[in-house]
Chain A
């Protein structure tokens, strides 16, 4: 199973809204509503930001939202802040022997 495809980098100015895409296949993103998003700052462990496509865990800012259409999931960050600068990875359940597949990762830069 190949990794989900994400743009290598996305940038925006403080206060702007950015969207990160995550493209999979009908075997993962397109079939299952178990897409999650993780934020990772340098040298730190990943942090869950979105699960089950649209759910925001307790404590995660409401500036983060998720969506899905067909084989592509998206993470939107509104009101971009300096602390949002990090790497972001999507992840989808894929069933069977694969279990989950991660995205290639996107570096978000706040200009």
Chain B
């Protein structure tokens, strides 16, 4: 079946970086964009960025430009989100989600908890 499987929980110190992976299966990886959406504890959803697995093209929310980098490896149908210069307010669950802009996110990964703490 169509699914996105993310890497496991991470703990980082302030100022460090984290890289989260999202492996797609059950569909053609290059047919859909992959988005990254985060959710701080008890809070709402926040869109961060997208990548086109086909072209490698990306777009980032203004808030995250310069701090987030999206990449992909089409040979293993996996996308990556790297977030740098972590602060305590980056503690959140990070989700990858499939979509064809401007339409909705129809398949979501299970989420990856990133905790930033000294």
Chain A residues with CB under 8 Å of chain B are 3, 32, 34, 36, 38, 45-48, 51-52, 57, 89, 91, 93, 95, 97-105
Contacts and interface: CB of A to CB of B under 8 A. Distances in A.
26 contacts: A3-B44, A34-B102, A34-B103, A36-B105, A38-B45, A45-B108, A46-B108, A47-B108, A48-B104, A51-B103, A51-B106, A57-B106, A89-B45, A91-B45, A91-B104, A91-B105, A98-B62, A99-B50, A99-B59, A99-B61, A101-B47, A102-B45, A102-B46, A104-B44, A105-B44, A105-B45
Given A45-B95, A48-B106, A51-B106, A89 B44 contact: yes
B113 to A, nearest CB: 10
B87 interface: no
A57 B45 CA distance: 21
A46 B106 CA distance: 9
A73 to B, nearest CB: 13
Interface residues of B, number: 20
B109 interface: yes
A103 B109 CA distance: 20
